[in-house]
Structure 1
């Protein structure tokens, strides 16, 4: 399954077009390497997604074309959620 479609189906990112943009900006890594939207995702892959100052790392557990909202969380396991302080927060302290 394509990376952008997995991000949308698993509900990590709400829209596929947004998932494609995030991938093309280099904000998604698969197993530590930058990944484009068209890269295939496999079970066991680790995805790191950067949302502004927050980085979410998940492991792909299941791949399915159509998933109900309640089942979307079973497609991945959250490994780490890291929030980095912005430079302005550090300077004002």
Structure 2
């Protein structure tokens, strides 16, 4: 699954366009490498996102094309 879509579906970032812009700005890393929006995300990958002065690091535990709001938190775990 594309990185920008995963960030939206898992609700780490609320909108896909915002996720896309964060990737273009170089603020998203997958497995310690700067990632573009089209980067493939697999189970076990570690995603690191810089939100201003805060950094969020999560591990992908599940991939789904769509989820309910309650189930979105099961798609990743904080590292």
Coarse TM-score class (shorter-chain normalised): over 0.9
Query: TM-score normalized by structure 2?
Result: 0.99
Q: Larger Cα Rg: Structure 1 or Structure 2?
A: 1
Report what 1:9 is aligned to.
9
Query: Distance between the aligned counterparts of 1:35 and 1:70, measured in 2?
Result: 27
* Gap runs ≥5 in structure 1: 80-93
Query: Alpha-carbon deviations, 1:46-69, whole Å to 9, x = none?
Result: 000000000000000000001000
* Gap runs ≥5 in structure 2: none
Pairwise CA RMSD of aligned residues? 0.3
Query: Distance between the aligned counterparts of 1:23 and 1:50, measured in 2?
Result: 10
Write the mapping of 1:1-93 to structure 2, written as runs, cut at 5 A: 1-79=1-79
Point out which structure has higher relative CO (alpha carbons under 8 A, 6+ apart).
2
User: How many residues get paired?
Assistant: 79
Secondary structure at the counterpart of residue 69 of structure 1: coil
Q: Which runs of 4+ in 1 moved over 4 A?
A: none
Query: TM-score normalized by structure 1?
Result: 0.84
* Offset, 1:70: 0.1
Query: Distance between the aligned counterparts of 2:58 and 2:43, measured in 1?
Result: 11
Secondary structure at the counterpart of residue 58 of structure 2: strand
**Greater helix share, structure number:** 1
